[in-house]
Amino acid sequence: MSNCIVAQSGGPTVAINASLAGVLKANEESRQFEHVYGSLNGITGILDDRLIDLTSCIEKDPEFIDRLTVTPAMYLGSCRYKMPQPGSEEGNEIYTQIFKYFEEYDVDTFFYIGGNDSMDTVMQLSKYASMIGSSVKVLGIPKTIDNDLCHTDHTPGFGSAAKYVAASVREVAHDAYIYGIKSVTIIEIMGRDAGWLTAASALARTENSPAPHLIYLPETAFDIKKCIADVKELLEYENNVIIAISEGIRDSEGRYISTTDAGSDIFGHNHLSGAGKSLENILKIALEVKVRSIEINVLQRCASHLASLTDLEESKAQGAYAVAMAKEGHTGEMMTITRKEGDTYETAIGSFPIDQIANGVKNVPREWINEEGNDVTEEMIDYLRPLILGEPAVSYKDGLPDYLEVPHLI
Amino acid sequence: MSNCIVAQSGGPTVAINASLAGVLKANEESRQFEHVYGSLNGITGILDDRLIDLTSCIEKDPEFIDRLTVTPAMYLGSCRYKMPQPGSEEGNEIYTQIFKYFEEYDVDTFFYIGGNDSMDTVMQLSKYASMIGSSVKVLGIPKTIDNDLCHTDHTPGFGSAAKYVAASVREVAHDAYIYGIKSVTIIEIMGRDAGWLTAASALARTENSPAPHLIYLPETAFDIKKCIADVKELLEYENNVIIAISEGIRDSEGRYISTTDAGSDIFGHNHLSGAGKSLENILKIALEVKVRSIEINVLQRCASHLASLTDLEESKAQGAYAVAMAKEGHTGEMMTITRKEGDTYETAIGSFPIDQIANGVKNVPREWINEEGNDVTEEMIDYLRPLILGEPAVSYKDGLPDYLEVPHLI
- What is the full DSSP assignment across B246-280? ETT-B-TT--BS--S---B-TT-PBP---HHHHHH
pLDDT tens digits for range B125-154: 999 999 999 999 999 999 999 999 999 999
Determine which of A20, A49, A172, A174 to mutate to test the interface with B (most B C-beta atoms within 10 Å).
Answer: A174
Would you place residue A408 in the very low, low, confident or very high pLDDT band (cuts 50, 70, 90)?
low
As for the ipTM of the complex, it is 0.93
- What is the per-residue pLDDT across A3-22, written as a single tens digit (0 to 9) for each? 999 999 999 999 999 999 99
DSSP code of A318?
A: H
Measured between CA atoms, the residue of chain A closest to residue B179 is: A78
pTM above 0.90, yes or no: yes
Rg of the Cα atoms in chain A: 22
Residue of B nearest to A239 (CA): B410
Active site residue A146: yes
Q: Which residue of B has its CA nearest to A308?
A: B399
- The chain-wide mean pLDDT, for chain A, equals 92
DSSP code for A331: -
Please, where are the H alpha helices in A236-308?
Answer: 275-287, 299-302
CB hemisphere CA count around A310 (13 angstroms): 21
pLDDT for res B86: 80
Could B400 and A72 be called an inter-chain contact, meaning their C-beta atoms sit closer than 8 Å? no
pLDDT of residue A179: 86
Q: What is the pLDDT of residue A234?
A: 97
Beta bridge partners of A264: A270
Is B35 a residue whose pLDDT tops 80? yes
pLDDT of A410 > 80? The answer is: no
Lowest model confidence (mean pLDDT) among A39-53, A244-258, A307-321: A244-258
pLDDT band at B85 (very low <50, low <70, confident <90, very high): confident
User: Which amino acid does the sequence have at A135?
Assistant: S
Cα B382 to Cα B88: distance, rounded to the nearest angstrom: 47
Interatomic CA distance for residues B269 and B265, integer angstroms: 5
> Is residue A272's pLDDT more than 70?
no
CA distance B329 to chain A (A): 31
| Contact call for residues B320 and B26 (beta carbons, < 8 A) | yes
Under an 8 A CB cutoff, do B77 and A163 touch? no
Can you spell out the DSSP letters for B332-358? SEEEEEEEPSSSS--EEEEEEEGGGTT
Q: Write the burial class of residue B63 (CB in 10 Å: 0-12 exposed, 13-18 middle, 19+ buried).
A: exposed
Whether residue A263 has pLDDT greater than 80: no
The pLDDT of residue B410 is above 50: no
Of B117, B146, B230, B375, the catalytic one is B146
Q: What is the pLDDT of residue A266?
A: 47
Task: Considering the candidates A117, A146, A230, A375, report the single residue annotated as catalytic.
Answer: A146
Q: Which residue has the higher pLDDT, B407 or B162?
A: B162
Other CB atoms within 10 Å distance of the CB of residue A243: 27
**Which contiguous run of DSSP H or E holds residue B351?**
strand B347-353
B91 pLDDT higher than 80: yes
CB A210 within 8 A of CB A265: no
Please tell me the predicted confidence (pLDDT) of residue A264. Answer: 45
Best of B168, B171, B302 to substitute, by most chain A Cβ atoms within 10 angstroms, is: B171
Given B175, B238, B388, which is nearest A12 (Cβ)? B175
User: How much is the pLDDT for A259?
Assistant: 53
Cα dihedral B211→B214→B217→B220 (10° resolution) = 160
- The pLDDT, as a whole number, for residue B259 is 53
More confident: A127 or B256: A127
| Average pLDDT of every residue of chain B | 92
Checking if the pLDDT of A391 tops 70, the result is yes
Q: How confident is the model at residue B271 (pLDDT cuts 50, 70, 90)?
A: very low
CA B43 – CA B74 distance, rounded (Å): 13
- Choose, out of B174, B205, B294, the residue to mutate when testing the contact with A (most A CBs < 10 Å): B174
Report pLDDT for A128: 95
Q: Going by C-beta distance under 8 Å and a sequence separation of 6 or more, which residues neighbour residue B87?
A: none
Q: Do B410 and A301 touch (CB under 8 A)?
A: no
Report the amino acid identity of residue B231: V
